[in-house]
A and B are shown apart, each in its own frame.
Chain A
Amino acid sequence: MSFLSVRALSKHYGPVTALDAVSLDVRQNSRTAIVGPSGSGKSTLLRIIAGFEPAASGTVQLNDEVLVDGPNAVPAHQRGIGIVSQDGALFPHLSIADNIAFGLHRRLPDRDKRVRDLMALIGLDHAMLDRRPHQLSGGQQQRVALARALARQPRLMLLDEPFSSLDTGLREQMRQAVTQILGTAGITSVLVTHDQAEALSFADQVALIRNGRLVQRGTPEEVYFRPADRQTALFLGEAVILPARLNNGTATTALGVFPTNQRASSGAAEILLRPEQITLCAPVAGQPQLEIEHAAFSGANWTLQLRLIDQPNHPPLHLRVSGIDMPPAGSRVGLAINGFAHVLGQDQVAA
């Protein structure tokens, strides 16, 4: 049974469609990531769930209570939904302690103790309670924003690109900390992000949104290895996409014949291989051979440009591989494929 249920939600800004009949289910105590390029409507969806914007049509239910029904909605302040936004949105005129206590009732008996407990939970020193938001680093501000939202024990926590204004290293660390804190508190959460790596590592359900339409949803592994269409495949990570002929569970491509994950299909289609599935090997007779035209080193990986020797008209293949003993440019190599090739569907929404 779903805890948060979004049904056929639509929203327009003048002639622009921001959301087009989006439906989404979120289980209790789960983490969902809504991922999409900027302008895809993902933040609009979040703002409608939070109650900051009205919808044109569709419903939102939380724990069987109707929050949005077309243009009718429960005001944001009555929903009991917490939110952490991109820059934290801490009140600049209040101290850290007052920011965290902002949502607590004034006469709550153990107000101060709760604020201190929350500071401990987010791993900040009590000495910071009297500081102002501008005296904290970006990561610390985000932690305070999380504590402020947690103070009210929200039924649902919305995270609106909360890590995107942080440095790369800090982002990773904050993501882990937040994931752990939310898990400890047992709060259902929905993260909105344009960073696919963030979405895949944070969530146990990933929902892809593009041009206001929900394109695909599933576990991170599902959406990564079995994306619905070409655009989704490219958005979620590096991809080798090849034209293929399907026949009885195999795909015949310029790089060879691979097993696919779709037995039923046949005919022309595109297949997806993730770079992780491909390894270089010594050239094998009877298999397509490639020549390394160019190899660029970037630390953990090599980016190779490969030419198919038997098919001079085939466009060169770009491949990111890891390895310590890379053959020099000009060498001939073969490719070994692990796992299944995924058959891509037609693009569902034009870019």
Chain B
Amino acid sequence: MTQAQLSAASLLHDPVGRAPLRLRPQRRLFSPVVMAALLVSLVSLVPLGFVMWVAVDAGWDTVVRLVFRARVGEFLLNTLLLELLAVPLCIALAVTLAWITERSDLPGTALWRAVAVAPLAIPAFVHSYGWISAVPSLHGLPGAVLVSVLAYSPFLYLPVAAQLRRLDPALENAAASLGKTPAAIFALVVLPQLRLAICGGALLVGLHLLAEYGLFAMIRFDTFATAIVDQFQSSYNSPVANLLGGVLVLCCIGLLALEAIIRGRERYARVGSGAAKTASRHRLGRGMPMALGFVILFAALALGVPLLTVVRWLWSGGLAVWPVAEVGTAFGQTLALAFGGGILAAVIAAPAAWLAVRAPGRLQRVIEACHFYVGSLPGVVVALALVTITVRIMLPLYQTYATLLIAYVLLFLPRAVTALRASLAQAPVELEWAAMALGRSPWQTIWQVTARLAAPGIAAGIALVALGITNELTATLMLSPNGTRTLATQFWIKTSELDYAAAAPYALMMIVLSLPLSLLLYTRAQRASVR
């Protein structure tokens, strides 16, 4: 290097004019990141602590008197029947759809994949609204099973289809060479490999069945969630609602344990190295009309019924039901809450996600478990806990947007952590080191390198939380300050007044808001499975 270059270099790294280097302590027992993640974990434990406090505070006699009743037994039976019917049906539906879109030669794969995912963009209670309008006599268990299977099937379809795409065809070829028929291969080779995907998806569906309020309230099917909200609305802070919340949490824990047992610890990943080939598609042949009929029927029931209902009510109501200002306000409020909550969730989930990628360990696993368990709690329970706590010890926070946003963050924390964790993995620590060796301070590094590379994943995480908030009804009803008008609450008020025509614009706007977010979720899932 020439002398001129060397003197230019001294401009930026002058050994003479530079301030003396100072040593700083590097090891701290708990770094600020760990402290932040621990704080979030503590807050996420609040709903569980609340449930325990309720049981202890009420005393055993009260628990016996209020919980061991015929009415509660009826809720338990309803819940059990619903889970036992809806979850297997959902699995059968999702596996069939996934096989048709991923492994058969039915033309129009892209369209049918979109159809299978699209019910996600319609809130569960709008599905219900569609069916009630189309078949007014629909109610009770059959109605609840029908609507929930249609509404929640994407939760199973997404992981099962992704897993089907990933399966190594070599295993199926090996089974065929050992003399197995295609049906036997599916049962013996394919299905066992779908077990993890099915378990995960079924757990998600099961938890939604426990937590859902709007869908079942509208179709007149009593579950713990509907009973709790009814109790809460008649007299808030009632011990009955709180104790029922406790039973509901027990149901959730039972479901989580059941899934953990069924999932087991066996290895299902490919053994061996090298990239897997993509599987060939099965010829449907004479089965083609049946497969086509199946997907069309699904599209008609899961998308056609709710969408046509909305359109029909919009049409019959005419322009008169379009109070543009009101719908606009609700749309704006929903948008603000959804993205405010999404950004807040991303910020709050960041420490735990960072630890998971950069400093995994025993404490980190405990922290992550705290972040994840809270997402499996029903909205009613989180809302009950926050109402009780704000009323009792933090009254100024009662019925404020702050409390509502905290509820949203807690409910959708797992989505945010998962998305952030994956996006941080896009920014390897070596790049951070390179930036620091090139003179960037740690904060500059995080901002200029880590955040920049993780941005797409962070945005997806925010969108996922926003999608959840847009379609969230229960906690919003229970926690929102007076004067809050979100699309979901306005829709709920109108349908409660049986003014289905007036509810239609809100339903439409919710779908309009959810559609691009669902699309984002879907394309990311696609890309992830292609890699």
Contacts and interface: CB of A to CB of B under 8 A. Distances in A.
B439 to A, nearest CB: 5
B1 A52 contact: no
Q: Which are the 8 A-B pairs with shortest beta-carbon distances?
A: A103-B438, A54-B26, A153-B9, A76-B436, A72-B23, A89-B430, A89-B434, A71-B27
Contact of A71 (B25, B434, B435, B444): B25
B1 A102 contact: no
Contacts of A75: 24, 436, 441-442
8 contacts: A50-B433, A75-B441, A77-B441, A91-B449, A93-B453, A148-B434, A152-B12, A153-B12
Contacts of A110: 8
Interface string B212-249: 00000000000000000000000000000000000000
Nearest to A102: B438
A75 B19 CA distance: 14
Interface string B429-471: 0110111111111101100010011000000000000000000
A72 B5 CA distance: 34
B436 A73 contact: no
Interface of A: 47, 50-52, 54, 63, 65-69, 71-83, 85-87, 89-93, 102-105, 108-110, 114, 117, 121, 145, 148-149, 152-155, 184-186
B21 A65 contact: yes
Interface in B348-398: none
A118 to B, nearest CB: 9
Interface residues of B, number: 36
Contacts of B192: none
A51 B242 CA distance: 53
Interface of B: 1, 5-6, 8-13, 15, 20-27, 428, 430-431, 433-442, 444-445, 449, 452-453
A103 B433 CA distance: 12
A50 B439 CA distance: 12
Given A71-B27, A73-B24, A51 B436 contact: yes
A145 B433 CA distance: 13
B358 to A, nearest CB: 12
Of B5, B10, B15, B453, chain A has the most CB atoms within 10 Å of the CB of B5
A66 B13 contact: no
Contact of B24 (A72, A145, A154): A72
A155 B26 contact: no
B124 to A, nearest CB: 39
Nearest to A155: B15
Contacts of B435: 91, 102
A93 B435 CA distance: 13
Given A50-B437, A85-B433, A73 B13 contact: no
A96 to B, nearest CB: 14
A103 B453 CA distance: 18
Nearest to B5: A117
Given A92-B453, A93-B452, A184-B1, A83 B434 contact: yes
A84 B486 CA distance: 53
B1 A185 contact: yes
A78 B445 CA distance: 13
A71 B26 contact: yes
Nearest to B2: A117
Given A51-B437, A77-B440, 13 more contacts: A68-B23, A71-B25, A71-B27, A72-B25, A73-B23, A75-B436, A77-B442, A89-B433, A91-B435, A92-B453, A93-B452, A114-B8, A117-B5
Contacts of B428: 89
A268 B66 CA distance: 88
A75 B23 CA distance: 8
B261 to A, nearest CB: 31
B430 A149 contact: no
A108 B8 CA distance: 8
A5 to B, nearest CB: 15
A103 B434 CA distance: 10
Contacts of B8: 108-110, 114
Contact of A74 (B13, B23, B433, B449): B23
A80 B27 CA distance: 22
A95 B95 CA distance: 45
Contacts of B453: 91-93
A87 B430 contact: yes
A85 B10 CA distance: 25
Contact of B433 (A72, A83, A148): A83
Contact of B12 (A51, A105, A117): A105
A72 B26 contact: yes
B529 to A, nearest CB: 22
Contacts of A71: 25-27
A121 B439 CA distance: 22
Nearest to B12: A105
Nearest to B8: A110
